[in-house]
Amino acid sequence: MRSTPHLPDAVGAAFAFQATACRDLASPFTAAVCEALAQSLDENSAVGRRIWSWGARAKADALALRAAGALHFLARSGEAPGLAAAYPPNAFDAAALASEIARAIETHDDFLAGFLVRPPQTNEAGRSSVVLGGALIVAAATGLPLETFEIGASAGLNLHFDRYAYDLRGGAFGARSAALRLSCDWRGAAPALDAALRIVARAGCDVDPLDPGDADHRARLLAYVWPDQAERLARMETALALAAAHRERVERADAGDWLAARLSTPPARSVARFVYHTVVWQYLPLATKRCAMAALEAAGASATRETPLALLQMEADGDTRSAALTLTLWPGGESFALGRADFHGRWAEWSGAGPHRPRPLPL
């Protein structure tokens, strides 16, 4: 009888970590996919060999999410009806899922192995509720309109955070006529919703940007949404349609180089520059991170109360249940722990920390 293979330690740990994270984030099906792959993959297939040989960066490279995304893409494609039958909204059957994954690897091995090359892009529009909160804090503190810059912007869904409508605990934000309405349970000392928020310009970059108007790109983004989270799938489809209708497109660029170029341009007077990223930092190479921070610090050193600079970060810090929210504001470069948020934007716990609006500038 053939024994169950054991993935190399770093790779096996990455799949186990991702399975735990998926359960913590209400996706038991994706957790089951990760576990089925970890228990069955061997070096007899191209996808198995690629995963086995990934090495120490398996967790940092989100290898398990790449593999789960590949299978979901295949299930949605119509090319593997048996696999699709084992996926939601059909009833979950662990044995049937494992069997269909094995069959998919046997039949579509080269496709699945090739899908692993590109990093996952979870351009989750639900995170816009957190970006909105950070932007409201900056707008209230500075009293200025914002020019926004998003790094790791993928298809640009969160470039449009001010164009969505929101249902938030204790209030609402945005036009009633907005095509996409997001719900987020804002807890704690939430940002004030009455700040004068006005976006005068917006831009984003990604090392591998996706076009919301391209059918293949849309299919890839939808594949990274967990199959048992139908609300997120529907939200993604609506957000993609809205992004396709707007003129902004994400620029193809390294985040460090892009920020260095953008922030070296003299800022407009009486406009706050607002840089943000959501669940991106972990994927960036060390050199890119250093370049991005150097660009921010250089721009921050010349920031004034008339030309302030802000950095909002929503990033993982080891807790699989939520992301840390941090805001840094220049001049001064003071950082504030704003709270924590669900990775997909279902809730945000605000700490009440943050800058306060300064006294009016002297005439």
pLDDT at 170: 74
pLDDT-based confidence at 212, cuts 50/70/90?
Answer: very high
**In this prediction, what percent of the chain has a pLDDT beyond 90?**
90
pLDDT tens-digit profile of 129-159?
Answer: 999 999 999 999 999 999 999 999 999 999 9
Whether 2 has a pLDDT exceeding 90, the answer reads no
Strands 347-350 and 272-278: unpaired
Q: Which residues face 348 on adjacent strands?
A: 186, 341
Q: What percent of the chain has pLDDT over 70?
A: 96
Which one, of 221, 197, 295, 216, lies nearest residue 254 by Cα? 295
What is the spatial order of strands in the sheet that 181-188 belongs to? Answer: 171-173, 165-168, 181-188, 347-350, 334-341, 323-330, 309-315, 272-278, 146-151, 199-206, 251-252
Q: Where does the pLDDT of residue 58 fall: very low under 50, low under 70, confident under 90, or very high at 90 and above?
A: very high
Closest CA to 316 of 72, 76, 62: 62
d(CA 130, CA 283): 20
Residue 169 confidence (pLDDT): 84
Q: Is 110 helix (H, G, I), strand (E, B) or coil?
A: helix
pTM of the predicted structure, to 2 decimals: 0.87
Angle at 109 between CA 105 and CA 115, to 5 degrees: 105
> Would you kindly state where each structural domain of the chain is located, as residue ranges?
9-115, 125-350
User: CA 59 to CA 157: how far, in whole Å?
Assistant: 25
pLDDT of 359 reads 41
- Asked if 331 and 303 count as a contact pair (C-beta separation under 8 A), the reply is yes
For residue 176, the model assigns a pLDDT of: 87
Confidence of residue 360 (pLDDT cuts 50, 70, 90): very low
Which carries the bigger pLDDT value, residue 72 or residue 249?
72
pLDDT (tens digit, 9 = 90+) per residue, 153-195?
999 999 999 999 999 987 999 998 999 999 999 999 999 999 9
pLDDT at 108: 98
Mean pLDDT of the chain: 94
Give φ, ψ of 220 to 5 degrees.
Answer: -65, -45
pLDDT tens per residue across span 257-311: 999 999 999 999 999 999 999 999 988 999 999 999 999 999 999 999 999 999 9
Cα–Cα distance measured from residue 34 to residue 14, given in angstroms and rounded to the nearest whole number: 9
Candidates 180, 277, 281, 297; CA nearest to 236 is 180
The residue-averaged pLDDT of 211-231 equals 95
For the stretch 63-86, pLDDT in tens is 999 999 999 999 999 999 999 999
